[in-house]
Amino acid sequence: MKKISTVLALFLAIAISAQSIKYGVTGNIHRGSIVGVHDRSIGKYGGGLGIFAEIPLVENDVFDSAWLYVVPQVEYSMQGENAEVKKDIYGLQKFHHDYLAMQVYLKWFFHKGNMKRDLFLFAGPRIEYLVREDRKVDPAYDLTHYKVNLDDEIEKFGYGVSFGAGLKISQQWSAFLRYDRGFSKVYPKNDRNNTYNRLIALGVNYYLNENWW
């Protein structure tokens, strides 16, 4: 009987802990570019899709009062850029890069005492790994511009920071505006500039198990 009570107590503790963690899916549309390379860059529109969890760091007895979370997130992100150097001669230059990325956010809700508002801020580190490269340029473009771009080698691993603001729309939906800024070089041979990734995104989160913690 004692063993059964212990097992039940352990199961109850795990269940209570799990109930305080939210999780769901996230998606965004964004415009990104690679800084310091490919003159006349016009950026590129892309999208991202991923999953996340929200783990409360502050839990109060008041209904729906946790206002600070740590939020690990994994996503597939379509990035890169397009450029229009002498488009009439070379056509559109495409440098499309897809990444598997991870962010770990600290998410903070505006609040007064235990009264949490709908508006929140978030920020945290980001790492990314290149899983697909789609480069389409006229060979004549490379012959003329490689000495400036130095872009025949691409770094697969990158890191940076991601931050933004959002609004809780309903029990299961929230919307956000986000900016990502890389610190690592996309093209390691380019010793003239820090050719980092950047993007600005508009997106939504959908909670699969919203429990109002």
The residue whose two tokens read 């820090």 is 194
Q: Are 204 and 27 in contact (CB under 8 A)?
A: yes
First to last CA, the chain: 34
Tokens representing 30 are 């964004």
Residue 62, pLDDT score: 66
Q: How far is CA 79 from CA 21, 40, 153, 180, 189, in A?
A: 30, 17, 17, 11, 20
Torsion (CA) 168, 173, 177, 178 in degrees, nearest 10 = 110
Asked if pLDDT for residue 146 goes beyond 80, the answer is: yes
58 or 186, higher pLDDT:
186
For the chain, strand residue ranges (E) read: 22-34, 41-56, 68-83, 93-112, 115-136, 157-168, 173-182, 197-207
Residue 186, pLDDT score: 97
Span 132-139, mean pLDDT?
96
Residue 6 — pLDDT band, cuts 50, 70, 90?
low
Q: Are 81 and 33 in contact (CB under 8 A)?
A: yes
- Report the percentage of the chain scoring pLDDT > 90: 78
Q: How far is CA 33 from CA 117, 126, 167, 203, in A?
A: 34, 16, 26, 18
Q: Domains in the chain, ordered, with CATH?
A: 23-207 (2.40.160.20)
Tokens representing 119 are 């508006």
Residue 58 — pLDDT band, cuts 50, 70, 90?
confident
Residue 64, pLDDT score: 66
Span 19-25, mean pLDDT?
84
Q: Provide Rg for the chain, Cα atoms.
A: 22
